[in-house]
């Protein structure tokens, strides 16, 4: 009998992670059938639907429509809605990815219904409990049955926390599977409609920025400091900044001006953004995924955070942690512009085949 799996996604960074898993499951349709559960955590067309279309993810089988609201409201709405679906469907396993509120909510619901939980991108730890994602990671891993890890630190953290070694699998990274897959498609794609293409034609050299962490964008002083640093860097290197809805709201609320050389755009689709950043001289970000993707393609990345749960990007890759102190940000950007950016190498198993390994292991475990 085929096993039935639920594949949960809710927020933008989840979509890139489920795309390769869905493909790998399609390739083993003799063993598995799966249902895609979209929690609706992200709901704007440009934060959600665009990604499903472009990344080739099948339409969700269930849409929980549980976006917006405070953390508790969002998590609660997702739990209530998923409980109904999970109870009716009784899957053999629920697969959750990453560290967003949807990951937490659905893993708790599944586990309480005795449905085994597989966590993809398990074991990452920033050690910073002020990050909502860190709480989500800790809780999800505390009840998961199978742990798929992206880098050796993930494995070490889980073993240190007492997880059984035979449940922890170092498989590489589905985010990088997606990156390589889409990069190949991008080469053949018609880019004429891309916002990035017009910008690339305008500037011979440019940087790209993304910012959305509450610690960077929710308070005036922090965001004003970063805005000042970006303004300064942009005097030497024009910066393209696709703005997350949370950040856009706060830039307007605080009346912050980034100056003429920081070009703000709406959130870009995956391909449009990849088309931009793969040719950037420098990336400045507080995203988790972009730290890893830049390492995979060897692009210098400055991370505007004090810590990272993805240390391999710093130890082996092109990532440098610069915090959110404006002087430090500008000094680090100057270094990169002076040609002293990190070169880095691609981490072990970041080879585009993580999803295949996950599916093979699930076949073994659920068999």
Residues lying near ligand UD1 in the complex (CB under 6 A) = 11-13, 41-44, 47, 68, 74, 99-101, 132-133, 212, 244-246
Minimum Å gap between C-beta 363 and ligand UD1 is 30
Q: For tokens 């130890």, what's the residue?
A: 315
| Cβ atoms of 34 and 366 closer than 8 Å | no
Quick one: which H or E segment has residue 55?
Answer: helix 49-55
Q: Which residues contact residue 157 at a Cβ distance below 8 angstroms, ignoring those fewer than 6 apart?
A: 123, 124, 125
CB of 238 or CB of 289, closer to ligand UD1: 289
Catalytic residue among 38, 42, 119, 212: 212
Minimum Å gap between C-beta 99 and ligand UD1 is 6
Residue 126 tokens read as: 């920033």
* Closest C-alpha to 125, from 104, 149, 97: 149
CB of 247 or CB of 318, closer to ligand UD1: 247
Minimum Å gap between C-beta 120 and ligand UD1 is 15
Q: Which residues contact residue 246 at a Cβ distance below 8 angstroms, ignoring those fewer than 6 apart?
A: 212, 214, 217, 218
CB of 99 or CB of 151, closer to ligand UD1: 99
Computed on alpha carbons and rounded to an integer, the radius of gyration of the chain in Å comes to: 20
CB of 100 or CB of 274, closer to ligand UD1: 100
Minimum Å gap between C-beta 69 and ligand UD1 is 8
Active site residue 212: yes
Phi, psi of 58 (to 5 degrees): -60, 155
| Residue nearest ligand UD1, CB atom distance | 100
Residues 231, 88: Cα–Cα separation, whole Å? 53
Catalytically annotated residues: 212
């Amino acid at each position: 009998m085929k096993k039935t799996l639920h594949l949960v996604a809710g927020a933008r960074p989840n979509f890139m992670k489920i795309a390769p898993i869905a493909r790998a499951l399609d390739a083993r349709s003799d063993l598995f059938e799966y249902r895609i559960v979209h929690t609706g955590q992200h709901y704007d067309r440009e934060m959600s639907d665009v990604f499903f279309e472009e990344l080739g993810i099948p339409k969700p089988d269930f849409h929980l429509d549980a976006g917006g609201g405070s953390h508790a409201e969002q998590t609660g709405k997702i739990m209530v809605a998923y409980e109904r679906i999970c109870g009716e469907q009784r899957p053999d396993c629920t697969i959750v990815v990453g560290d967003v509120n949807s990951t937490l909510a659905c893993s708790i619901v599944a586990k309480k219904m005795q449905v085994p939980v597989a966590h993809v991108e398990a074991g990452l730890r920033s050690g910073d409990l002020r990050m909502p994602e860190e709480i989500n990671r800790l809780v999800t891993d505390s009840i998961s049955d199978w742990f798929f890890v992206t880098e050796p630190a993930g494995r070490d953290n889980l073993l240190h926390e007492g997880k059984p070694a035979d449940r922890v699998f170092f498989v590489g990274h589905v985010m990088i599977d997606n990156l390589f897959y889409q990069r190949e498609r991008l080469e053949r794609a018609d880019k004429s409609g891309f916002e990035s293409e017009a910008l690339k034609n305008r500037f011979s050299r440019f940087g790209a920025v993304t910012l959305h962490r509450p610690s960077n964008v929710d308070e005036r002083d922090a965001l004003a400091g970063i805005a000042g640093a970006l303004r300064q860097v942009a005097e030497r290197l024009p910066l393209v900044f696709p703005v997350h809805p949370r950040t856009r709201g706060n830039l307007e609320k605080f009346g912050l001006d980034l100056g003429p050389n920081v070009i703000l755009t709406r959130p870009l689709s995956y391909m449009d953004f990849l088309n931009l950043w793969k040719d950037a001289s420098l990336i400045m970000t507080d995203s988790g995924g972009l730290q890893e993707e830049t390492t995979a393609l060897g692009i210098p990345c400055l991370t505007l955070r004090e810590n990272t749960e993805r240390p391999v990007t710093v130890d082996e890759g092109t990532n440098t942690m610069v915090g959110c102190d404006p002087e430090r940000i500008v000094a680090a950007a100057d270094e990169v512009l002076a040609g002293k950016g990190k070169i880095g190498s691609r981490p072990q198993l970041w080879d585009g085949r993580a999803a295949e390994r996950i599916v093979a292991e699930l076949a073994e475990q659920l068999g």
